[in-house]
Amino acid sequence: MTVAVLGGMIAPVSSREFVLSEMADKAASERGATDFHQPVLVQEMLDHLLPHDGGTYLDATVGEGGHALAILNASVPGGRVLGIDRDSRSLNRASERLSRFGSRFFSVQASYSHMAEVCQSRGISQIDGVVADLGFSSRQIEGEGYGFSFLRDEPLDMRYDQYQSLTAKDIVNGYDHEELASVIFRYGEEPRSRPIAREIIRSRPMNSTGELSQAVARAMGPSRRRINPATRTFQALRIAVNSELDHLVVGLSEAIDLLIPSGKLVVISYHSLEDRIVKERFGEEAAGCICPPKLPECICEHQPRVRNLTRKVVKPSWEEVAQNPRSRSARMRVAQRL
């Protein structure tokens, strides 16, 4: 038996498996395919999930497979991971990267809000643990073709799922002032949403991310802020295009439905809108009575379905932030099925 150290985690791995892992990484490196998205809070995720041989795990946002890889390595020889993602381009990379695990890893292109249906179609009725690492990967923000970034000039797309019809271009060119301002305010928490919406409408038709960020900069005027003035507007449009918060609400319920008793749901979020939803959902699911406080006695008969394991949200260590600055906004919450 050999011990493999994965991002600080020590997992027992058979010598043969360890050698195969090293060979696979070397081969990937020779193909120039090792510049994968760097997963965050991997050790903290494993500490809660405690993957084991024979377990079935669902990575609801498998991306490029970083968290899935850690779970597969920690659940040798027989743990399985079902990886879901809306983005088929990321799924292809994850599938290639994890192909050495054979049938222990399998993937489906879908939204995690459909995870119950996906599991049912695969004959899976119960899951030992679910991980959801929300938002986007570094490849999606830095790579070509997604239109998520104001640092690139490319078509106004912003879809995770290329088969979805709604794009950022439709919203930017089609919404009226009220609708645009509301999206930018609600999903970007941008106080200057109204002047931004006005300037977008004045600058129509708009086709590219460059045109959008220039319109936002004109609406904002000179600023000494460290963050790019278009940051919040881009976040808002991405959330609106992909209905991210609606999918999250449904996905959290479905995940809890699928978990075995004592199974864990680990969610990593990157902004306050997501984290608020996760916190509130876990709070509601962990509560006994949910009657209005004014009622003299309980009439709801609500039963708690989970125990909240992270009353205090888990944040990355300063070492992790120093090594991967993108991790600084990550917040992890964990619930355990009762």
What is the pairing mode between strands 331-337 and 259-269?
Answer: antiparallel
Which of 136, 175 has the CB closer to ligand SAM?
Answer: 136
CB 132 within 8 A of CB 266: yes
Q: How far is CA 108 from CA 80, 236, 242, 317, 337, in A?
A: 14, 27, 18, 32, 24
* Residue 160 interacting with ligand SAM (CB under 6 A): yes
**Shortest Cβ distance from residue 328 to ligand SAM (Å)?**
14
Stretch that binds ligand SAM, among 50-58, 133-141, 202-210, 285-293 (CB under 6 A): 133-141
Task: Pick the closest to residue 327 from 40, 84, 96 (CA basis).
Answer: 40
Q: Which of 137, 193, 209, 327 touches ligand SAM by CB under 6 A?
A: 137
CA atoms of 42 and 104, how far apart (whole Å)? 19
* Residue 37 interacting with ligand SAM (CB under 6 A): yes
Q: What is the size of the binding site for ligand SAM (CB under 6 A)?
A: 23
Which of 80, 192 has the CB closer to ligand SAM?
Answer: 80
DSSP annotation string for 245-260:
HHHHHHHHHHHHHHEE
Which of 193, 274 has the CB closer to ligand SAM?
Answer: 274
* Residue 136 interacting with ligand SAM (CB under 6 A): yes
Stretch that binds ligand SAM, among 75-83, 105-113, 216-224, 290-298 (CB under 6 A): 105-113
* Residue 93 interacting with ligand SAM (CB under 6 A): no
* Residue 83 interacting with ligand SAM (CB under 6 A): no
CA atoms of 320 and 332, how far apart (whole Å)? 14
Task: Pick the closest to residue 122 from 183, 172, 80, 62 (CA basis).
Answer: 80
Task: Pick the closest to residue 306 from 274, 259, 273, 269 (CA basis).
Answer: 259
* Residue 331 interacting with ligand SAM (CB under 6 A): no
- At a CB cut-off of 8 Å and minimum separation 6, what does 239 contact? 187, 188, 245, 273
* Residue 337 interacting with ligand SAM (CB under 6 A): no
* Residue 281 interacting with ligand SAM (CB under 6 A): no
**Shortest Cβ distance from residue 69 to ligand SAM (Å)?**
8
* Residue 64 interacting with ligand SAM (CB under 6 A): yes
CA atoms of 260 and 172, how far apart (whole Å)? 43
* Residue 63 interacting with ligand SAM (CB under 6 A): yes
* Residue 87 interacting with ligand SAM (CB under 6 A): yes
Stretch that binds ligand SAM, among 86-94, 98-106, 284-292, 328-336 (CB under 6 A): 86-94
* Residue 67 interacting with ligand SAM (CB under 6 A): yes
CA atoms of 25 and 97, how far apart (whole Å)? 9
* Residue 274 interacting with ligand SAM (CB under 6 A): no
Question: Between vectors from CA 69 to CA 99 and to CA 272, what angle results, nearest 5°?
Answer: 130
Q: Which of 74, 84, 181, 237 touches ligand SAM by CB under 6 A?
A: 84
Which of 45, 181 has the CB closer to ligand SAM?
Answer: 45
The DSSP call for residue 213 is H
CA atoms of 98 and 71, how far apart (whole Å)? 11
Q: Which of 56, 90, 209, 327 touches ligand SAM by CB under 6 A?
A: 90
3-class DSSP state for residue 198?
helix
Stretch that binds ligand SAM, among 97-105, 108-116, 171-179, 224-232 (CB under 6 A): 108-116
CB 335 within 8 A of CB 285: yes
Which of 51, 229 has the CB closer to ligand SAM?
Answer: 51
What does the binding site for ligand SAM look like in residue numbers (CB under 6 A)? 37, 39, 60-61, 63-67, 84-87, 90, 111-113, 133, 135-137, 160, 247
